[in-house]
Amino acid sequence: MLSTMQDVPLTVTRILRHGMTMHAMSRITTWTGEAEPRRRSFAEAGGRAVQLAAALRGELGVCDDERVATLMWNNAEHVEAYLAIPAMGAILHTLNLRLPSEQLIYVANHAEDRVIIVNGSLLPLLAPVLPHLPTVEHVVVSGPGDRSLLAEAAADVQVHEYEELLAGQSPDFDAFDWPDLDERSGAAMCYTSGTTGDPKGVVFSHRSIYLHSMQANTTAALGLTEKDLTLVVVPQFHVNAWGVPHATFMVGANMLMPDRFLQPAPLADMIERERPTHAAAVPTIWQGLLAEVTARPRDLSSMARVTIGGSACPPALMEAYDKLGVRVLHTWGMTETSPLGTTTDPPAGLTPEEEWPYRITQGHFPVGVEPRLAGPDGAILPWDNESAGELEVRGPWVARAYYGGSPGKELVPEDKFSEDGWLRTGDVGVISPDGYLTLTDRAKDVIKSGGEWISSVSLENALMGHPAVLEAAVVAVPDDRWGERPLAVVVLKEGRAVGYPELKEFLTGRVERWQVPERWALVASVPKTSVGKFDKKVIRRQYANGELDVTRL
C-alpha cells in the first residue's frame, strides 16, 4: 500500500522561501569593526538571494549543476550565496581561505568552478592562484578591495561587482523561474582538509541539507528558535558552518556573523554588545576567548550555550566556562556527516554532578545517524563502554562516496567506506549501552606502545587541566624499546612557568603511570590545520627533522 501523502521535494529553495516570508523580521548582523554593524532582515537577505540567482543565470549564464565557488568570510552576503546558488540549481562550493595555495588550486580545479564570489579583502589571496584556475570565467567581488589585483592576475576572467549584479534584478521570489529540482541532486560541496593526501570532495544533496537542518534545530541538538541570536564563528567554508545558516533560515533564528574579526578581543566585544544566546566554534576559538576575558573581563552572560566541535573539548575548558555561566555542548562530526554526528544531551533528571560524565563524552547519536564499532579484525563490537573500535556510521546526511572530478563519477576508497556501505570515520572510541560516544583518538594518532594503546586525546585533556597550560598536543614518536612513545608538546599561558617534572607529576594519578610521556617540548603555539585542529603530522615532521627542543626525562 502506498501512502496518501504529498510528495514535495525537500530543497534549499523551500528553506529560502520559508525564511524570507515566515521569518521576514529575523536578522543577519554582520560585524564591521566600526561603530555600527550591518543589519539585514531575512526578507531583505532572501530578496537579495533571489536577485543573485537571477544575476548568476541571466548575466553570467550559470545553469544546471555548474559550480559557483565562494571565497568569503562569514557575513550576510555569504548567507545569500548559500541560499541562491543551490536554489537556482547550481552547486555551492565553499573554498577554504586557510588552505595553502596549492591545495586551493587543487580543489577549485577538481570541482571545475566556473564562478568565484569573493570578498574584496581576500583579493590578495585569490589573485596569485587565479591564473592557475582554467575553468573560472567570472569573479564577483563583494565589499572593499583592490580590484586591480585581478586585472593583473588573469586578463581573460570577467570581473563583476556583487552589488551591481544584484541591482539589475527583481527581489520578487515569484518573478524568478526556479527550476524543478530533484531533492537528491547536488546542492553544495565541501572538501576535506587534506590531512592525509589530497582533499576529497563531499557533495551534499538538497534532501540531506534539509533533513540535517531539521535535526540541528531539535532541542537535542542546537535547539534554536526565532528568539535566539547565534554567533556563527565556525567558518562558512567548514562543512557549511556546521549547517547553521540553513538551519537558522529554516526556523528564523537570528545570526551574528563576525566577518574577518575572529580574534579573541573583537569576539569578546561583539558578545558583550550584541548579546548572542548561542555560539558555535572549535575549541581553539574558545580557549583564546577564555584567555581574553580572563585578562580583560567582559560580560558573556547572554550565551546560554556554546556548541564546541571539530576536535575534542578539554574538560578543563568546559569547567572554566561553567564558572562564567556558559554551558558548553560537546558535539562530534566531520565533513562526510554534514557534520552533525552526535550532540551532548545528558539524560533527564540528573544533578550537575551526575550529568558531568555524559557532558565530557562526544554525545548521543540522533535518529538520523546509525553507529557501530568495528574491531581491528572487522568484527562488530558491543556497546559496553569498554570495547574500543573504529566508529562507522550511516544515515541520510552521511556520505556514501567522494566526488570523482567529473559528472557521474564517484570515488569509494576502501579505507573510507565498508563493503556494506558504512562510512569509516577513522575515529576510535567506545559507545555506552545507552548510546553515548566517547572517542579515545583518531586511528592514525593512537600511540601503540609495547603492544598497548595510549590515547593521545586523554593525555592532552589531562595536561590542559594544569593551570599553567594553554594548549597541549601529544603525538607518537619512534622508540627503540617500546616501538612508539608519546611526545607532549605544550604551550604555556602568558606569564606562567612550569617545569617538565611538575607536569609529569600532574599526570600521575590522572592517567596510567606507564602512559606518562618521557619526551617534552615547549612551543609558542601548536601547529593547526585550516579548520583549527591540531596538525599532528606537522609536529611529527618537526620532531623527525630535529626542529623541536625536546627534553627527555
- Count CA atoms within 13 Å of residue 106 on its CB side: 15
Is 356 assigned a catalytic role?
no
**Which is the catalytic residue, given 453, 482, 518, 528?**
453
Question: Contact, 188 vs 204, CB < 8 A?
Answer: yes
H helices of 484-549, where?
A: 500-507, 536-544
**Which is the catalytic residue, given 448, 452, 505, 514?**
448
Rounded distance, CA 70 to CA 140, Å?
Answer: 9
Name the DSSP class of 30.
E
User: Based on C-alpha coordinates, what's the Rg of the chain?
Assistant: 24
410 alpha carbon, distance to own chain's centre? 23
**Which is the catalytic residue, given 336, 390, 392, 460?**
336
Question: Contact, 144 vs 171, CB < 8 A?
Answer: no
SS3 assignment, position 281: strand
Nearest to 309 by CA among 205, 427, 416: 427
Is 336 assigned a catalytic role?
yes
SS3 assignment, position 52: helix
Q: What are phi and psi of 356, to 5 degrees?
A: -55, -45
Nearest to 498 by CA among 524, 473, 467: 467
**β-strand pairing of 469-479 with 483-492:** antiparallel
Is 337 assigned a catalytic role?
no
Question: Contact, 15 vs 213, CB < 8 A?
Answer: yes
Rounded distance, CA 206 to CA 245, Å?
Answer: 14
Residue reference for cell 547536488: 186
Nearest to 523 by CA among 473, 468, 464: 473
409 alpha carbon, distance to own chain's centre? 26
**Which is the catalytic residue, given 192, 307, 335, 440?**
192
Question: Contact, 316 vs 465, CB < 8 A?
Answer: yes
- Strand stretches in 445-482, DSSP E: 447-449, 452-454, 469-479
**Identity at 382, one-letter amino acid code:** P
Active-site residue list: 192, 336, 448, 453
